Structure 1
Amino acid sequence: MTRSSRDLQPFLRGLGRHFVSPTKRARGHIANQMPVQFLGRDLQLQALRRRLQGLIDSPGAGSSSPALDPFAEPSSDAFQDTSCPPSSDPPSGVDASDAPSTSAATTPKKKRYRQPAPLTAQRLYGRWTGLLPLLATPLLEYLQRSAGRPVASTFTPMHMCLTGMCMVVHQDMNLLFWDHYDTISVPFCECNPLPNVLVASGMFPTSPTLPRTAVSIDLLDLYLSLFERSGDAVTALARAIRQFYTKRGWRILDHKGEPLTDPFRKPLGHAVQWYDSLRVLVERDIDRAIDKARRIVTDHLKPPVHRASSSDPTSDDTSIISPVATCAPPVASSSEIPFTKKHRRRSRKVANAATLEVSLSELISPFVPEQPPEPRTTCDPVLQRRCPACFGGETFGQSFADGADIAVAVDGNFSHRHMRKAGDKPAFYDPEYFLPKVFVDAVGTWIGQQRQKPPKPDYVPKVPDAAVDSCQHGHEAANEEKAKTDPERFDDTGVMALVCSHDIPILMANIDTPGEQQKYAISLILWLFLLLPDNATVAGLYDIGCTTDRSINLYDLLPAHIVSRLVWAVSVMHAYGHEWVCQLVYNPRLAPGLGLRDGEGVERLWSCLRVLIPVTRTSARSRRIWILDRQVRAIGDEMRDHLGAWITRKLKDGVWAQYTEAKKIVVDSQISVAELRHQWAMQQEAQLSIRAHAPSRLKKGVEAVLALQAEIEHVDEAIADVMKKFKENLAMPDSVTILQALQFLSADLSQRAESLYGSLNVSDVFPELKDVHADFVRTLVLARDIKLNVRKRVTAQLLEFDRIDQAAGGKDNPLGTKLHQYTRRSIARRQPAIRSTIQKFNRYVQKLQDLAVTHSIADTIPIPRPLSTDVNELRNDPDFYEDVWVYPASGNDKPRWLHEQGTRLAIRALLKMERCVEEESRLHRELDHMCWWLGREIAITQLALQMVDNSLYRPIIQHRLDNLTLLQRMWANPLDKTSRLLSQVTWAQSIVEDILQTSDGLLYQPIQDAAPVVATFTQLGDDEDDDDNVQDDFANRGLDLLEVIDFLEVLEHEDESASEDSQSEGEEIGAFPLVLALRCIDCDDR
């Protein structure tokens, strides 16, 4: 007998072998399943409906009939006629005509599809947007309870029913803390929902409706502080928390007991995004509260006459205060731009702007609120808060010769682009720094409309058009049609920024066109003027400032009252790319007024934002703007807090060091200051003259002659090489005869080229050279054009060097990328040709010197100087930028600036000294602005802290007040010798006391537990280790904090020794030492 299979199984001790049932195949989604059709079900329902209708329509059915119990169980008789017999006939009581059709019974139901992702995201974002205002009060309550206390080690739900009649429900929540996670049941009710309970308890939900996970608010605050330093890193935070939990013994497993790979990334991403939005909402509410206190302080500081005329008892209740964080500024009053409020017609106005010829005021009026009732006398509080040194104060109207009131720099960056395939999400953040896209597009429509008109016939150019045209062709930024990115791959192609002269970001604009169009720079300048007083003057530094200035004046791209208060200049580091005659007008080192401001602050901003390039390129478009805007806010606040170190560094490394070096050159030249200024004026007049530029017809003709002569020279060299080889190899006589004929033909071509040059009629173009020897004139003109060619090639190579060292790529990065390798190969390939062209120019210079001696050329015709073959030395060589003179100098005496190298160096040194004097004067004005703003801002914040309506905001307002009072120490600099910054706290306290004494006492509540400012500063001053919080900032900016402290300590000793030395040198170290020293140089020399 065969043994059974059970007997064949091996014996195992214990419970035996564990058999697992086979896994069933997973069913598909319910939306894709086919519904089951029950046979006869439709017939039974139809029979029941007819019976029910018959009972209702029967005459015996009345009030005497027993009432039906809807919850009673149905009797068996109710389904007596509804039983389905086994035969195929219809059930009893059901006619055959009632049978449903086959098609109706077999037609499947329509599948249910999921909602589209954009619609789902809009609904989710809509829920969050509606929830955030309700979470502001619980957040403020939690911040008020936890201010100044350590983070609680245990979680305690803060739930209290507001009505006392709600049913309390408990929800199990996964709570994420910095050191562990826990699952806790959190109570909530209808009047106190779950998100409110979580926020009041110190946890932020990850979902707006019924969250299952919440994150510690303190952990989110720590991450956002890290975000301000290093950029967006939610993925890194999620993985770090998971790893940290695992090391501490808290493992994250699923329902099957398997470890989860990335369980926190999405919840943390949602929590970070919406918690920051909640913080922004709270900050803007606090800004409105502080604005209310600002109006009270401003009215109190007005003279009694103005105070009485401008008082309005209902202004605090009926006035509409625009959030200071938004980009919509009040418009400066002007007769040319009568702005009105037309927010309802934005889309219609933009749509009609492309077809109708409208004015600039009509285009931009829908995007700004109505103008203030009184003319603006100070800058907008938004600008004052971003840079008090530039926009603080109440005195404006500086002339352009004095450097204008405000100096800003504008530039674009095409590395911060956004990939089109990354998509977009609903907007959730109103940016503070970025201009609205509709505003920029409206300005672009206006510019296109103006360019269709003919240029102004009465426009007088500051620089010859030939020079500006050369600058325009030499810069990519001036070519609006050139695509710097692939529009098929990127929808946002870059970012443009406007920064002040202290490198603090002021405004931003998103670039969504392939090229760098002028509408972005003009939009930023126009928006800035909307926030300034009517008499404020602005100096704008731009890489193509000359081209932008000509376009604005040629086509009236800006209103006249703005153009009259705006002056343009080029950035210092890119000035070498401009013609020398252009630099005479637009270079801030040569033109008066701008001091030592270089206009390169935007490049330093790009260096700070470079870490965000890979993150923002693949983020959603709205999230990209949020990341950049919040990061720019953090950078600006940090730079504002360290304005004192900036002034100290500018004085030490800029003003004093450069002034001392330049003064030594001027003194050694033994030329008076008056004579140097006279020579500089003569040089400007001569080089800005139209006669200094050959007409384009002559320039093209000479270039053609140069090309022809170059080809002839190549042919001569080739014939000479072949002749040499034939002579060495004893070639046939016929070959030698043919080569000699070729040599005669080449000589004939050279003579014809000379005749072609003579046909250009150089003497007619330059009648001053009519009596000069023809060979000298020919060589002079050729040398001029060769130098232009050299300058064009060297400038292009310097731009290539800057492309490698630019902030977007970073000079500290290894050269392994394709762009860097290509640039390096291009530079190496062009080096021999550039060096050969320079050597050819030097040969022409030597030939001119020989011809001047041979033909007794007058000394009034200047001979150019040879150039160095090192490209890096040519960057700072003034001779490299100057053109070769093709006409005699005016007057009988040859000018010293043209023939004496020592005079030229002394002129440049004198200009450097003047810039240092201007810089110190500007620093003094900026210190006055900082003191003015600090005193008023402390008074405003103290008053807002004591207002009854702001009791919920007191922890945050107190934090702001502490930061403001610390600025008087952080802004300490050598110019503040009378401790004006320290006296601002006392002045602010007196102002607040005066306001409280004159008030009725109902709106204010004195704060008794506020820490005294003097005691706080005394503790910080005694503790040397408290300076560690700013060490990193100074290290990043190349300035050691200890060096600054040592420098400030020895300043008094240096001032005493300098005052003793000034008695022997005729100088005086006082409020403006450089001005007095500059005036005394001539006396010292004599």
Structure 2
Amino acid sequence: MHSAGEKQFNVFALIEQLFQEIPRDIRVGLLYDVACGLERSCRRWGFLERYIDRLEFAVSVFHAFGHEWACQLIYHPRKREGFGFTNGEGCERFWHSISHLIANLRICGHHNRIYTLDMQIEHADESSLKRLGDWIRRRHAHSAEKRRDTEKALTDSGKSVAFLYMRPLIGFVGRTKKKGQDAVNAVLLLRTSVKFRKAQSASESLEKAQSELDRKEAALGVTDTAADQRQSLNGLGSSQYLQLKMNARALKRRLRDRLRARKFELDRVERSFRRLVNEQKLYTHTESAVKRREPTISKVNSEYNKLCREMSRLVAEGKAPRGAIAPVEIPAKGIWKLDVDDAVWEDVGLDDDEISATEPPPWLSDEKVRSGIKAMLELDRSAEEDLRLKKERCALQIWFAEEWAVVNIAIGRAKSSRDKYQLQLVRDDLVRLCATWDKRLPDLGMDTTAIPPWGPSASQLSACLVDAHVAARGEDRHYGEDEDDSEDEEEERPEEDIDTLAAVETADMYRSVQTDY
């Protein structure tokens, strides 16, 4: 990185390198702070075209609350299939674990910096490997707790899962100079459809089409006779009032969507009373992100009120269709409360049948439906998390069994006592690692007969319990198979400190690297 901040091509380069290292049948879930913009670039410009079908994009949990509500509905990992309870903050936790090196690395040389980072990363890797069994146990307990809570919430909602599987349509309603003409064209198309259904004698569909045609004609103020209706419609196509009316409808719908999104985003903050330190950071981040979007909502409101004033002027000057009523302005004061009697819900003068002709959807008006949807989503993520943990547990045992088999083969082929001694130390570490995992790994209810056994025997694992006492007496204790090692014990043990030699060798390797400045 040669400039401030990360660029999008940095992400593309990392993803390209990742796909070069994994099999072709693996799907990748990509959690990124701005995954929405990343996927849009891929779809629009053809980036990562070879891998796009194997990629699932989602925004990491902490940053998801900074995005707009529509973006959260699509890219939030808790609302997107396949991510379980993964939060995407692993990199941040790693940066935090090595943050104590910042002060020293600022003043050290290039090679010393690289060496220090590599040693710290290697140490973190070894430490995390030992804690892997405990990590699976904690994630399993968290998933089980979530499952219990969500099943209770789902029962309390009184709604079936089939009913809760609803997907609200998300669309952007914009303003154009042809809105009025589009409304006129829609009426003309409906008239043609009514005539066609009359010719086909389709009574049921004809009644429905005729009802919709009457409603749209009334919305446009068309009350002329049949002979003059086409001429009247052609005149409305260029009507300034109709153009303002359709744009006002678009602005009001956008304003409602933004106000609803704001209310849903602040719902978690307003309902929380007890906050931990990490939760407090998340709530503060969410609240600040919502506050940053308030000027946009205020701007949409002011533009809508401006259109309302222009429509009132046209009505007063007699330049509006017959019977036209100018809509009421929405006062800026109190717009954030969203009370039931606010002007934002009134559609007088707009005839916004698309919004007000039906009852509000349950996901918006029914609190039990909203809580049921949240519980259903968390229940789905819990099932995905359990499946992911089983795969992690399976991969853990397969990896260990392979490492155990390799080290035992290497010990059998060792040509000197020194080589054999070093390999025995590696095997001892594996036995201790297996003993640590054996105490921590939970029972996931999976069938382990299809995967290879761990490798160490029960006696080897039991010997780890007295390892501290053996070390206190200064003895070299190995957890190998029962075999005659008398000849090896007579040979001289290595006098050098192997760990010190390894560290010195690594340091010498970095010192020997030549770079041009």
TM superposition score normalised by structure 2: 0.59
Using a 3 Å threshold, how does the CA distance of structure 1 residues 956 and 585 change in structure 2: closer, same or farther?
farther
- Equivalent-residue separation in structure 2 for 1:789 and 1:657 (angstroms): 29
Match of 2:10 in 1: 520
Match of 2:464 in 1: 1020
Match of 2:64 in 1: 575
- Give the aligned residue type for 1:600: E
Match of 2:37 in 1: 547
Equivalent of 1:531 in 2, 5, 21: 21
* Partner deviation per Cα, 1:611-662 (whole Å, 9 max, x = no partner): 011111111123212211221121122112211100110111x211111111
The Cα of 1:553 is off from its aligned counterpart by 3.0
Using a 3 Å threshold, how does the CA distance of structure 1 residues 840 and 917 change in structure 2: closer, same or farther?
farther
- Give the aligned residue type for 1:548: L
* Partner deviation per Cα, 1:418-457 (whole Å, 9 max, x = no partner): xxxxxxxxxxxxxxxxxxxxxxxxxxxxxxxxxxxxxxxx
Tell whether the 8 Å contact from 2:153 to 2:375 is kept in structure 1 after alignment.
yes
Using a 3 Å threshold, how does the CA distance of structure 1 residues 844 and 931 change in structure 2: closer, same or farther?
closer
Q: Alignment partner of 1:599: what SS?
A: coil
Using a 3 Å threshold, how does the CA distance of structure 1 residues 762 and 651 change in structure 2: closer, same or farther?
farther
The Cα of 1:782 is off from its aligned counterpart by 5.2
* Partner deviation per Cα, 1:158-185 (whole Å, 9 max, x = no partner): xxxxxxxxxxxxxxxxxxxxxxxxxxxx
Using a 3 Å threshold, how does the CA distance of structure 1 residues 942 and 596 change in structure 2: closer, same or farther?
same
Map 1:900-1049 onto structure 2 (within 5 A): 900-949=366-415, 952-972=418-438, 973-975=441-443, 980=448, 988=455, 1014-1021=458-465
Map 1:605-1004 onto structure 2 (within 5 A): 605-652=94-141, 654-677=142-165, 680-681=166-167, 683=168, 686-687=169-170, 690=171, 692-695=172-175, 761=243, 763-765=245-247, 840-842=333-335, 845-846=338-339, 849=342, 887-888=354-355, 894-949=360-415, 952-972=418-438, 973-975=441-443, 980=448, 988=455
* Partner deviation per Cα, 1:71-100 (whole Å, 9 max, x = no partner): xxxxxxxxxxxxxxxxxxxxxxxxxxxxxx
The Cα of 1:927 is off from its aligned counterpart by 1.1
The Cα of 1:965 is off from its aligned counterpart by 2.5
- Equivalent-residue separation in structure 1 for 2:47 and 2:336 (angstroms): 47
Structure 2 unaligned blocks of 5 or more? 179-239, 270-276, 299-330, 471-517
The Cα of 1:1024 is off from its aligned counterpart by 9.9
The Cα of 1:515 is off from its aligned counterpart by 2.5
Map 1:198-277 onto structure 2 (within 5 A): none
- Equivalent-residue separation in structure 1 for 2:446 and 2:54 (angstroms): 34
Q: Alignment partner of 1:619: what SS?
A: coil
* Partner deviation per Cα, 1:899-946 (whole Å, 9 max, x = no partner): 212101110111011100110011111111112111111101111122
- Equivalent-residue separation in structure 2 for 1:920 and 1:661 (angstroms): 16
Map 1:364-513 onto structure 2 (within 5 A): 511-513=1-3
* Partner deviation per Cα, 1:651-688 (whole Å, 9 max, x = no partner): 11x211111111111101111111111xx23x2xx12x
Tell whether the 8 Å contact from 2:70 to 2:261 is kept in structure 1 after alignment.
no
Using a 3 Å threshold, how does the CA distance of structure 1 residues 1020 and 574 change in structure 2: closer, same or farther?
same
- Give the aligned residue type for 1:694: G
Q: Alignment partner of 1:577: what SS?
A: coil
The Cα of 1:522 is off from its aligned counterpart by 2.2
- Give the aligned residue type for 1:526: E
* Partner deviation per Cα, 1:266-301 (whole Å, 9 max, x = no partner): xxxxxxxxxxxxxxxxxxxxxxxxxxxxxxxxxxxx
Match of 1:159 in 2: none
Tell whether the 8 Å contact from 2:259 to 2:336 is kept in structure 1 after alignment.
no
* Partner deviation per Cα, 1:565-596 (whole Å, 9 max, x = no partner): 22221101110111222222221100111110
- Give the aligned residue type for 1:763: K
Using a 3 Å threshold, how does the CA distance of structure 1 residues 788 and 537 change in structure 2: closer, same or farther?
closer
The Cα of 1:977 is off from its aligned counterpart by 5.9
The Cα RMSD (Å) is: 4.3
Match of 1:12 in 2: none
Using a 3 Å threshold, how does the CA distance of structure 1 residues 943 and 695 change in structure 2: closer, same or farther?
farther
* Partner deviation per Cα, 1:944-988 (whole Å, 9 max, x = no partner): 12213575433332222222223333223223568959x9567x5
Q: Alignment partner of 1:568: what SS?
A: strand
- Equivalent-residue separation in structure 1 for 2:35 and 2:346 (angstroms): 43
- Equivalent-residue separation in structure 1 for 2:252 and 2:44 (angstroms): 38
Using a 3 Å threshold, how does the CA distance of structure 1 residues 765 and 964 change in structure 2: closer, same or farther?
farther
- Equivalent-residue separation in structure 2 for 1:841 and 1:784 (angstroms): 17
Using a 3 Å threshold, how does the CA distance of structure 1 residues 762 and 650 change in structure 2: closer, same or farther?
farther
Tell whether the 8 Å contact from 1:542 to 1:571 is kept in structure 2 after alignment.
yes
Tell whether the 8 Å contact from 1:662 to 1:913 is kept in structure 2 after alignment.
yes
Q: Alignment partner of 1:763: what SS?
A: helix
- Give the aligned residue type for 1:959: L
The Cα of 1:695 is off from its aligned counterpart by 4.8
- Give the aligned residue type for 2:397: C
Tell whether the 8 Å contact from 1:945 to 1:958 is kept in structure 2 after alignment.
yes
Match of 1:16 in 2: none
- Equivalent-residue separation in structure 1 for 2:252 and 2:46 (angstroms): 43
- Equivalent-residue separation in structure 2 for 1:634 and 1:551 (angstroms): 37
- Equivalent-residue separation in structure 1 for 2:398 and 2:19 (angstroms): 21
- Equivalent-residue separation in structure 2 for 1:923 and 1:528 (angstroms): 22
* Partner deviation per Cα, 1:769-789 (whole Å, 9 max, x = no partner): 5xxxxxxx8766656667889
The Cα of 1:527 is off from its aligned counterpart by 1.9
- Equivalent-residue separation in structure 2 for 1:789 and 1:920 (angstroms): 33
Using a 3 Å threshold, how does the CA distance of structure 1 residues 788 and 655 change in structure 2: closer, same or farther?
closer
- Equivalent-residue separation in structure 2 for 1:1022 and 1:760 (angstroms): 88
Tell whether the 8 Å contact from 2:154 to 2:376 is kept in structure 1 after alignment.
yes
- Give the aligned residue type for 1:846: D
Percent of pairs with identical residues: 26
Using a 3 Å threshold, how does the CA distance of structure 1 residues 655 and 696 change in structure 2: closer, same or farther?
farther
- Give the aligned residue type for 2:370: R
Using a 3 Å threshold, how does the CA distance of structure 1 residues 935 and 534 change in structure 2: closer, same or farther?
same
Q: Alignment partner of 1:941: what SS?
A: helix
TM superposition score normalised by structure 1: 0.29
- Equivalent-residue separation in structure 1 for 2:150 and 2:384 (angstroms): 14
- Equivalent-residue separation in structure 2 for 1:976 and 1:847 (angstroms): 49
- Give the aligned residue type for 1:616: L
- Equivalent-residue separation in structure 2 for 1:839 and 1:969 (angstroms): 66
- Equivalent-residue separation in structure 1 for 2:362 and 2:376 (angstroms): 15
- Give the aligned residue type for 1:556: G
Tell whether the 8 Å contact from 2:435 to 2:464 is kept in structure 1 after alignment.
no
State how many pairs are aligned.
355
Query: Which structure: greater helix fraction?
Result: 2
Match of 2:217 in 1: none
Map 1:276-355 onto structure 2 (within 5 A): none
Match of 2:481 in 1: none
The Cα of 1:896 is off from its aligned counterpart by 1.5
Larger radius of gyration: 1
Using a 3 Å threshold, how does the CA distance of structure 1 residues 612 and 597 change in structure 2: closer, same or farther?
same
Greater RCO between the two (CA within 8 Å, min separation 6)? 2
